[in-house]
Structure 1
Amino acid sequence: MSLSLLAFTFTSPGPTLFELGPLSVRWYGFLIASAVLIGVTLAQYLAQRRGVDPELIGDFAIWGVLAAIPFARLYYVLFQWDVYSQHPEQIIAIWRGGIAIHGAVIGGILAGLIFSRLNKLPFWQLADLVSPSLILGQAIGRWGNFFNSEAFGTPTDLPWKLYIPPERRPQNYIDFEYFHPTFLYESIWNLFVFAVLMVLFFRGERERNLKPGTLFLTYLAAYSFGRFWIEGLRTDSLMLGPLRIAQVVSLVGIVLGTLGLVWLYRFNRRLPEIVPQESD
């Protein structure tokens, strides 16, 4: 198949989905809400198959959202503090974009630790049940970057390319029109990881050989691997000196996820309980 048959130029129609009087609904918020709804439904289905009360997953979803969104925004703002310190009124303007998935994951993990303790639900079991929903939600949410014309890559002439309006281009690329659609790359990668997790879930259900923590550790390593190389294309990475923060965090995720899986299957050990069970 020739590249010309794959040619497609992505052009965002803008961040607003629709307006109704003074009410403006943005694509970003709509996609996040849709991702949460789909994710909760999926996680409840998986929980039911594992003999876990689906209502617990619904309850955790509230905890997860309440923790993930503020942490995602806080993470982003902290690494862009030179900008937000000059415009503090924009710190809460999450509808304009500017959240970091690594911050959301950190917030979700903290919420999971507390929720697991309060509900006496093994943390690794909870993490496994929500991991497919998490990566699917990331695949959906990445399209919010498309509508906001953000999180794009360096200039490109590839048949698949993203048009960025002049006001959204970095100053050093102001004369370029087309850029790598990194939102698309990551969305496709996340869908691939989602497929892998679902295959592992159902294979483990059939063969009964999937150890607690496997899905979460696979998510951690696989997502981080894709994010590391995609982040290298982006023009708007959060930086700490010369380092791209997302790449540093991704390297940590790759190492932790891989070592955890080796611990589970190479050394045939169980992961330590993060949240100790209360004694009778």
Structure 2
Amino acid sequence: MNVLLSVIDPVAISIGPIKIYWYGIIIALAMLIGISLATKEAQKLGLEEDTMVDMALWAIPIGFIGARLYYVLFKWDYYIQNPSEIIAIWNGGIAIYGGLIAGGLAVYWFARRKKMTLTLLLDILAPSVLLAQSIGRWGNFINQEAHGGAVSRQFLETLYLPEFIIEQMNINGTYYHPTFLYESLWSLLGFILLIILRNQKGLLRRGEVALSYVIWYSFGRFFIEGMRTDSLWIGDIMRASQVLSLVLFISAIVLWIYRRRAYPTKPYYSEGLIASR
């Protein structure tokens, strides 16, 4: 017999007019865990203790701005009519690809400013970002968003999901594909894989951990995006995230092959700070 569970309240703490949402708590937790792991890895490779924290102070806020702008641009018909809503991020509307692009540019700027090796920084960050993405998707779960099309309860039961996930996917009497979960698990698996590969001496050259991240995430996101019902579209014919995923996937593979052929003596990631480039 199924036990009916109530939908999870998106508000975690309410003190008078002040409300703290689970989404914000989960995102903050994801970022803290990611920064902590990246900091430990950076120290292991000989970077200064505060490097990752200093970088995060720039990359995270810039990433959020990028995530919002990306979303707004693809919803421009609405926001041009409601310009005051552009900054109303508390009403929802951010896109992870926008955050990754803007955050990546912030890391590039930080590396140039500190005269650090960009590829090494990206390699350190890549697994931590994947783990943060995996955790962060549970914020979508709480908000009952980033889901796929309608399915039957029986279908969800065949996935051997816990009852609380099945019931949270019941939105106004209709069950939906838990695409948040698919992406969370894909990102978690990618995190484990990148950590294993990164720790193999003489396997991945500098920059290839980051390229592995791009290949892995974009490949999974392409298919998961095709199941979602809240996609941003390009001209009502192409899902923006699928197009970008395909471009990133192909570009990362081409760049990997080019770097291997053009720079066969590039240092391995395991060499840390031995080489500057």
Q: Do they superpose with TM above 0.5?
A: yes
User: What CA distance in whole angstroms lies between the structure 2 residues aligned with 1:180 and 1:9?
Assistant: 19
Q: How many residue pairs are counted as aligned between the two chains?
A: 254
**Contact preservation (8 Å) 1:11, 1:164:** no
Does residue 192 in structure 1 map to residue 186 in structure 2?
Answer: no
The 1:82/1:164 distance shift into structure 2, 3 A limit, reads farther
Shift of 1:48: 1.1
SS of the aligned residue for 1:150 comes to: coil
User: Of 106, 114, 120, which residue of structure 1 is paired with 2:109?
Assistant: 114
Q: 1:28, CA displacement in angstroms?
A: 1.4
**TM-score normalised by structure 2 residue count:** 0.85
Deviations 1:159-196 (A, max 9, x none): 25553433xxxxxxxxx601101000000000011011
Judged with a 3 Å threshold, the aligned counterparts in structure 2 of structure 1 residues 185 and 11 are, in CA distance, closer, same or farther, namely: farther
1:54 paired to 2:53: no
Distance in 2, matches of 1:261 and 1:11, equals 48
Structure-2 residue corresponding to 1:163: 169
Structure 2 stretches lacking a partner, 5+ long: 267-277
Check 1:32–1:107 CA distance in 2 against 1; reply closer, same or farther (3 A cut).
Answer: same
Alignment of 1:90-169 (within 5 A): 90-157=85-152, 158=155, 159=157, 160=161, 161=166, 163-166=169-172
1:226 aligns with 2:201: no
Check the 8 A contact 1:12/1:148 in 2, yes or no: no
Q: Cα deviation per residue 1:43-95 (whole Å; 9 max; x = unaligned)? A: 00111111111311110011111210000011011111223334333322323
3-state DSSP of counterpart to 2:19:
strand
Q: What's 1:3 paired with?
A: none
Q: Which amino acid aligns with 2:169?
A: Y
* Corresponding residue of 2:275: none
The 5 Å alignment of 1:3-42 reads: 12-42=7-37
How far apart are the structure 2 equivalents of 1:20 and 1:227? 38
- The one-letter code matched in structure 2 to 1:235 is T
State the identity as a percent.
Answer: 43
1:252 to 247, 254, 267: 247
Structure 1 CA distance, aligned partners of 2:182 and 2:4?
A: 14
- The secondary structure found in structure 2 opposite 1:54 is coil
Which region of structure 1 is more displaced relative to structure 2, 228-237 or 260-269?
260-269
String of CA shifts for 1:192-246, please: whole Å, max 9, x gaps. Answer: 110111112211xxx2443111111000010000000000001111001100000
Contact kept in structure 2, 1:128 and 1:215, CA below 8 Å: yes
RMSD: 2.3
Please say if residues 169 and 177 of structure 2, whose CA atoms lie closer than 8 Å, have aligned partners that are also in contact. no
Which segment drifts farther, 105-114 or 241-250? 105-114
The alpha carbon displacement at 1:10 in A equals 9.0
1:181 alignment counterpart: 178
Match of residue 65, structure 2, among 48, 70, 73: 70
**Secondary structure of the equivalent of 2:13?**
strand
Mapped to 1, the partners of 2:125 and 2:4 lie a distance apart of 34
CA contact (8 A) 1:152 1:235 kept: yes
Q: 1:43·1:130 contact (CA, 8 Å) conserved in 2?
A: yes
1:90–1:26 distance in 2 versus 1, CA, 3 Å: farther
Aligned in 2, Cα 1:226/1:104: closer, same or farther, shift over 3 Å? same
Q: What TM-score, normalized by structure 1, do the two folds share?
A: 0.84
Q: Distance in 2 between matches of 1:70 and 1:246?
A: 18
Q: Is the 8 A contact 2:197 2:203 kept in 1?
A: no
The 1:243–1:116 alpha-carbon spacing in structure 2 relative to 1, beyond 3 Å, is: same
Shift of 1:264: 4.0
